[in-house]
Amino acid sequence: MPRYRFTVEYDGGPYSGWQRQASGVPSVQQAIETALRACSQEEVTVHASGRTDAGVHARGQVIHVTMGKAWNPYRLMQAVNFHLKPQPVALLDAVQVADDWHARFSCVGRWYLYRILCRKAPPALERGRVWSVAYSLDADAMQQGANRLIGLHDFTSFRASLCQADSPIRTLDRLEVTRVGNEIHITAAARSFLHHQVRNMVGTLALVGQKKWTADDVTAALEAKDRSAAGPTAPAEGLYFMGAVYPDEG
């Protein structure tokens, strides 16, 4: 049975997150599976490289689906996009892959972008797509704090209380803070992340950017191994799943 890989872009605002919900609440997975059923008359399950929470967006989510019959990948992508309208979900590319290739289990890295808009005026065009704050943030100070989190650590202080991961140990490969106009962009990359890890790290770094915390406070929070020791959870709307990395793809 042929298997196809797609890159997906979506606005997470209208959805309960990536994963299909038993209650029937709209999810991105459900939207794509419904579109696939409409164009193929098949009941299929879509698998993603990583789940996203309610309100979190994606520019490079990677998914796969196994179909009962062969399709031209481009034609299948176009058919699914047609049936997704007018929902804010789109397949960006398509390719047939090996039968044992898996969007999640073949993945060796994931990366996210978090956007913070720093200005007094609220966003009009970017509403729901950035964390809007009415104060300035010191990007250099935030980077100093971010440097304390890079590497292999116990990230208990930065995981959600309901996180289902077996271990809080993770290796954070990259945590980069840059200023882009009146926005602060925070890029995080790792093989895998704990539930809410990126948003909790961003909330903590925002305290450093406001000069309420120092880099030493970030280290103390990390070493405490206690969620209450770190900063608040940043809002979902500023977070984007940017891409997944697979062997031999760089």
Q: Which residues form the catalytic set?
A: 53
DSSP state of 212: S
Helices (H), 53-168: 73-84, 139-147
Least Cα distance to 170 among 143, 147, 150 occurs for 150
Strands 109-118 and 183-190: antiparallel
Cα–Cα distance list, 92 to 42, 205, 243 (Å): 22, 33, 12
Query: Are 115 and 130 spatial neighbours (Cβ–Cβ below 8 Å)?
Result: yes
Q: Is the peptide bond before 86 cis (omega within 30 degrees of 0)?
A: yes
Strands 109-118 and 131-133: parallel
Residue 65 and residue 97: Cα distance in Å, rounded? 10
Query: Are 17 and 52 spatial neighbours (Cβ–Cβ below 8 Å)?
Result: yes
- Helix axis angle, 197-209 to 215-224, nearest 10°: 150
